[in-house]
Structure 1
Amino acid sequence: MPNLGLPRGQLLIFLLQLTSLSVLQVYGIGINYSRDDFPADFVFGSGTSAYQVEGAPFEDGKTPSTWDIFTHDGYVNNGETGDIACDGYHKYKEDVKLMADTGLEAYRFSISWTRLIPNGRGPINPKGLQFYNNLINELITWGIQPHVTLFHGDLPQSLEDEYGGWLDKKILKDFVVYADACFREFGDRVMHWTTFNEINMLPMLGYDAGMMPPRRCSSFYGMNCTQGALDEPYRVAHNTLLAHASAAKLYKQKYKPVQHGFIGLNVLAFWFSPYTITTEDLLATQRANDFYVGWFVNPLVKGDYPDVIKKNAGKKIPSFTKTESLRLKGSFDFLGVNHYASGYVKDQTINPAVETRDLMADMAGLTHVLEYFKDVYGNPPVYIHENGLRTVRNGSMSEELNDAARVKYMRGFIGSVLDALRNGANTKGYFTWSFLDVFELLGGYDSAYGLHYVDLNDKDLKRYPKSSATWYSSFLKKRGIQSVGQGKDSVSELFHSHL
């Protein structure tokens, strides 16, 4: 908790005003719940993505994606790649059995565009088609809902090379053809489609900061990139939104009447609180929300970008035509939200500064994110697609398996989802990130988020359940009441350690 220059008593009052929760709720003390406290149709699951779990990057007809090239060029953790990852391409049956044993009700995964349609366009790859059919069928056999993401950052490198990928509107046609193939081949069994994972991070990290492929930068925030321009993040955001709207229109007109599924879009959402109660920090906080979330959700709900973004970006941001605006507005059945942490925002002349808060405050943050979507965007159906705690792999299996901090994190955040539900938020599901210790896109194999440990020193990459997997399994199988605050922390200890 930062020092805001307030006496301790006033600081506590300020905290309560920010959270609109009682002290006990802020710190998760004495809140008990079970699976039965959630609606019967509320779904609990876990997830991965294609590049992070499958491996086999050049096997059975698959061609390189931008992530294959990016990692092979040495940009992640001194040259680590997803060439093997968790070898999910070969071990999917074992993994689905593990999901069933854990009690997962749903599994969220992405399709590799270049595994299904090599080079980004042209005929479907029979081997790729067979793999995803087998995976989906295996999930359904075990009673696990498949929730499928079409694009999780791994663009066909051939399209990047040919016309610049997401920078060119040519990508719209290729993406819709790819989406059409997925809907046609898998839509009889897949009821939940997400067009883009963290659509807001592609322009920010790929075209502004240069931390992800295609490693382009704006002049303000770039990581020593040799290519890029100030307008590129806005052009990419524009094209991805139009690609989503076109794919959603296709699905709703051609497939939804027969398949009866749902289509949506995913964003990464922090919960931002003002660093101080000054007008400047309050405005900066709203500006942060608009740039992180409103940039993409406003067009889906209101048909246009937030005014503050249009004002700040000026000529750099494209405008929607009337037809595009109408196509965007309402082009989703649900919104997916990835949420990991919260932060404070302090006004600066260039961009909002974010300071990470403590874990207990973060737990309350997810409640606020869900209530923000309820209050600002008309309470659309929302799935928490990713929520998880990063730990550092240290080589000690015993320490990795005893992930008590992750158990505490999950207890708190699932409790915060329940709080939001009880406050009227239209939340439909919760997925942990991640089911296995996958190849992390920013951290390689140094970072771990998984419910299950993957032994990278074992040639068979054997999986081992962590304490978090055991806890989640117990919760999902309705084995007793879960207490958010259970553990050794006392009320006094929490007050002194976090205030």
Structure 2
Amino acid sequence: MELNRTTCYIASLRSSSVSRGYRRIIKGFTAYADVCFREFGNHVKFWTTINEANVFTIGGYNDGTSPPGRCSNCSSGNSSTETYIVGHNLLLAHASVSRLYQQKYKDKQGGSVGFSLYAFEFIPQTSSSKDDEIAIQRAKDFFYSWILGPLTFGDYPDEMKRAVGSRLPIFSKEESEQVKGSSDFIGIMHYFPALVENIKLKPSLSRNTDFYSDMGVSLTYLGNFSGFGYDVFPWAMESVLEYIKQTYGNPPVYILENGTPMKPDLELQQKDTRRIEYLQAYIGAVLKAVRNGSDTRGYFV
């Protein structure tokens, strides 16, 4: 049996393993991946090292709302530094695993190693606001280029370096070369877009420094979250794929997650019209992006 895709890591390590500059996670994660490749590599052709790297890091070390639940306002953690340290270590761990696969397994197994992130489409809170339009690019720098910048160009975006300053780790020349080009494909998770509003905080009124205050935007997620089912925004998927194509050299992309929760219903089991329409809309959006040149190669729900 051949498995189409396998993810090595989905939010399951101890909090101390990737935070507080704990670089040994790189060696440990590489050893773990070595076992995965050795035992399952003949059955797996597409490996994702880290699942939703940006959302996992923000939720786990900035907001404290997902494992391991660390943040400045939690019982332990520092949102102003750990978020960036963890993201940095994840990129280095991924690069190490990718290098291992290329050197030891690629010729024998013929697989690919990728990295995944959550991909919002960002739209301005106020369409006539130039500040909100500028804030959209900052949001993309923090959510996209924080991860895809190093993987594509070997470094973080200039805007992020300016905003975060010395709290943002620095790649050595060797690390930059190792991270750059280390992902055979980009995996994205996409469900709904977000409204972006520019936030101007006076130093005396600023909240504790964290990922969002560094980014300088307020996000409002579009969707009906009070019940079952998200609103349908297929154009957002197409826009995300177009942005990745134009900004990061049109890498191979696999949509690893897309869908909507729905209330269990016997009638739906007999006539599943709503989900059919949902999938038709999103697959149609992906097809439009592909016809416009996006190197999107797969779609999973």
Give the alignment partner of residue 226 of structure 1, picking from 68, 75, 80: 75
Query: Which residue does 1:297 correspond to in 2?
Result: 148
**Cα offset for 1:400?**
6.0
Give the alignment partner of residue 179 of structure 1, picking from 26, 29, 33: 33
Q: Which runs of 5+ in 2 are unaligned?
A: 201-212, 224-229
Give the alignment partner of residue 292 of structure 2, picking from 411, 416, 423: 423
In structure 2, C-alpha distance between the alignment counterparts of 1:173 and 1:378, rounded to whole Å: 30
Please tell me whether residue 198 in structure 1 is matched to residue 67 in structure 2: no
User: Residues 342 and 361 of structure 1 are in contact (CA less than 8 Å); yes or no, is this contact kept in structure 2?
Assistant: no
Give the alignment partner of residue 414 of structure 1, picking from 264, 269, 283: 283
Query: Which residue does 1:332 correspond to in 2?
Result: 183
**Cα offset for 1:344?**
2.0
In structure 2, C-alpha distance between the alignment counterparts of 1:355 and 1:388, rounded to whole Å: 19
Could you give the per-residue CA deviations for residues 436-476 of structure 1, whole angstroms, max 9, x where no partner exists? Answer: xxxxxxxxxxxxxxxxxxxxxxxxxxxxxxxxxxxxxxxxx
SS in structure 1 of the partner of residue 259 of structure 2: coil
**Cα offset for 1:290?**
1.0
Please tell me whether residue 214 in structure 1 is matched to residue 85 in structure 2: no
In structure 1, C-alpha distance between the alignment counterparts of 2:128 and 2:276, rounded to whole Å: 34
Give the alignment partner of residue 398 of structure 1, picking from 252, 266, 273: 266
Please tell me whether residue 165 in structure 1 is matched to residue 17 in structure 2: yes
**Cα offset for 1:361?**
6.8
In structure 2, C-alpha distance between the alignment counterparts of 1:270 and 1:397, rounded to whole Å: 29
In structure 2, C-alpha distance between the alignment counterparts of 1:183 and 1:283, rounded to whole Å: 43
In structure 2, C-alpha distance between the alignment counterparts of 1:181 and 1:400, rounded to whole Å: 42
Comparing 401-410 with 372-381, greater Cα deviation is found at 401-410
Could you give the per-residue CA deviations for residues 235-256 of structure 1, whole angstroms, max 9, x where no partner exists? Answer: 1001001000000011111111
User: Residues 48 and 115 of structure 2 are in contact (CA less than 8 Å); yes or no, is this contact kept in structure 1?
Assistant: yes
Query: Which residue does 1:319 correspond to in 2?
Result: 170
SS in structure 2 of the partner of residue 428 of structure 1: strand
Q: RMSD of the TM alignment (CA)?
A: 1.7
Query: Which residue does 2:89 correspond to in 1?
Result: 239
Match of 1:200, as an amino acid? N
Match of 1:241, as an amino acid? L
Q: Which runs of 5+ in 1 are unaligned?
A: 1-136, 433-499
User: Residues 232 and 278 of structure 2 are in contact (CA less than 8 Å); yes or no, is this contact kept in structure 1?
Assistant: no
In structure 1, C-alpha distance between the alignment counterparts of 2:85 and 2:296, rounded to whole Å: 31
SS in structure 2 of the partner of residue 409 of structure 1: helix
Counting only pairs closer than 5 Å after superposition, residues 445-460 of structure 1 correspond to structure 2 as: none
Counting only pairs closer than 5 Å after superposition, residues 120-139 of structure 1 correspond to structure 2 as: 137=1
Query: Which residue does 1:375 correspond to in 2?
Result: 246
Could you give the per-residue CA deviations for residues 163-213 of structure 1, whole angstroms, max 9, x where no partner exists? Answer: x11111111111000001111111122111110110111220000100111
In structure 1, C-alpha distance between the alignment counterparts of 2:82 and 2:10, rounded to whole Å: 19
Match of 2:243, as an amino acid? Y
Give the alignment partner of residue 353 of structure 1, picking from 218, 223, 226: 218
Change (3 A) 1:355 1:406: farther
Change (3 A) 1:205 1:360: closer
Query: Which residue does 1:387 correspond to in 2?
Result: 258
User: Residues 271 and 341 of structure 1 are in contact (CA less than 8 Å); yes or no, is this contact kept in structure 2?
Assistant: yes
Q: Percent same amino acid at aligned positions?
A: 43
**Cα offset for 1:379?**
0.4
TM-score, normalised on structure 1? 0.53
SS in structure 2 of the partner of residue 341 of structure 1: coil
TM-score, normalised on structure 2? 0.87
**Cα offset for 1:216?**
0.4
Match of 1:352, as an amino acid? V
Decide which structure has the larger Cα Rg and report it: 1
SS in structure 2 of the partner of residue 146 of structure 1: coil
**Cα offset for 1:310?**
1.0
Comparing 345-354 with 237-246, greater Cα deviation is found at 345-354
Match of 1:345, as an amino acid? V
Q: May I ask how many residue pairs the two structures share in their alignment? A: 276
Please tell me whether residue 149 in structure 1 is matched to residue 149 in structure 2: no
**Cα offset for 1:399?**
5.5
In structure 2, C-alpha distance between the alignment counterparts of 1:355 and 1:202, rounded to whole Å: 19
In structure 2, C-alpha distance between the alignment counterparts of 1:361 and 1:384, rounded to whole Å: 16
In structure 2, C-alpha distance between the alignment counterparts of 1:363 and 1:372, rounded to whole Å: 15
In structure 1, C-alpha distance between the alignment counterparts of 2:196 and 2:294, rounded to whole Å: 25
Change (3 A) 1:228 1:282: same
Could you give the per-residue CA deviations for residues 283-313 of structure 1, whole angstroms, max 9, x where no partner exists? Answer: 1001111111110010000000011111111
Counting only pairs closer than 5 Å after superposition, residues 14-53 of structure 1 correspond to structure 2 as: none
Could you give the per-residue CA deviations for residues 67-101 of structure 1, whole angstroms, max 9, x where no partner exists? Answer: xxxxxxxxxxxxxxxxxxxxxxxxxxxxxxxxxxx
In structure 2, C-alpha distance between the alignment counterparts of 1:236 and 1:356, rounded to whole Å: 25
SS in structure 2 of the partner of residue 367 of structure 1: helix
**Cα offset for 1:360?**
7.2
